[in-house]
Amino acid sequence: MTVSDPANPVTTCYRHQGRESLIRCTRCDRFICTDCMRSAAVGFQCPECVRSGNRDVREARTVFGAQAAAGGAVPVVTIGLIVLNFAVYAAELMRHSVVKQLSLLPDALDGPGEGLYEPMASPPPGYHPIGIAHGEWYRLFTSAFVHALPTDPPFGPAHILFNMLTLWMFGVVLERHLGRVRFLAAYLLSALGGAVLCYFLVTPYTQTIGASGAIFGLIGLYFVLSRKLHFDPLGAQRQLIFAVVWLVAASRVTSWQGHLGGLVTGVAAGLVIAYAPRARQGAVQLAGLAAILALLIGATAVRTATLHGDDTADPQGRDAKGGTHGRTVVVAGDRPAEGVAGRASEH
């Protein structure tokens, strides 16, 4: 039988009482066996001290508040948006009526055939009002996922291809620095900003489609963030100049209203995200983006009230020139006149 020496007592691991140990945790000074030893900057620590230390370590974040650990992750939101755009496009190819159902349409009458008609206070039988002014607010967002069909001039399938290429180029960089939630919020706000300006400025019974408003928003957002970071792998100034030139040069065949609205909204969102004080960064960013959203919702409500007023101003359905409302507007024939949002940029 082994008799312990009172002068030199046997020390055991505090977690495994039957295991002799001569090593102490450098943090709590308790004895630990080889199974409980965790390498530390100096010596070894026990599992409990390691867990406690990890809780005390502040999570690394980017300048804009996103988790730094997510920086090298797969750009899930960017990929998801691209997949969703192509999924809607596939639905368009199978059913051309999807364009009419999801496009940005302020105020019109739906009647026989595929035509849209000018709104009037008392539509005849077989005609019913459709559009944002009649509660279809979802069109403000869904229109950003609809693109020109292959038979639609002047761009056809190039419309979605250039938009998605630009979304990938800017989305990968922005999502890495902003994080998924901020990036998605900025993208959707830009899409909404472009849609709201179209809602104000385009002829009520015409359609507008395309992701270009959101894409222009990403260009404006990237320009602001690159100035803050002093890091510009995509050439922000060159991209912004090209976007503005395209906005003006293609204004006769694209929706310049959607492009301009998206660009301005993207810049505004970028200023909110980039220059929020670090002390309360998340709260200030949330409040700023919410304020932009509230402004856009308010503007939409004002425009809706105006359109309702226009519909009821002349119960006979005559316009300012004395013409009768209700004449057909060909939808499937002349796509440029419908306000198709064109390419954001060519890269």
Q: Which residues contact 60 (CB under 8 A, 6 or more apart)?
A: 67, 68, 69
Q: Which residues contact 110 (CB under 8 A, 6 or more apart)?
A: 116, 117, 127, 128, 129, 130
Enter the tokens of residue 339. 């306000």
The residues annotated as belonging to the active site are: 212, 259
Instruction: Give CA separation, 123 vs 126, 127, 198, 304, 317, in Å.
Output: 8, 6, 25, 18, 9
Q: At what angle do helices 212-229 and 256-274 cross, to 10 degrees?
A: 30
Neighbours of 182 (CB within 10 A): 25
Query: Under the phi-then-psi rule, with left for phi > 0, alpha for psi from -120 to 50, and beta for the rest, what region is 131?
Result: left
Asked if residues 272 and 224 have their Cβ atoms less than 8 Å apart, the reply is no
Q: Which residues contact 89 (CB under 8 A, 6 or more apart)?
A: 146, 147, 160
- C-alpha distance across the termini of the chain, in Å: 84
- CA 135 – CA 284 distance, rounded (Å): 32
Read off φ and ψ for residue 328, nearest 5 degrees.
Answer: -70, 140
| DSSP bridge pairs for 117 | 109, 328
Q: To which residue do tokens 């620095």 refer? A: 177
Helix residue spans in the chain (DSSP H): 47-56, 76-94, 97-102, 139-142, 158-178, 180-201, 212-229, 236-249, 256-274, 281-313
- Count of all residues that appear for the chain in the document: 347
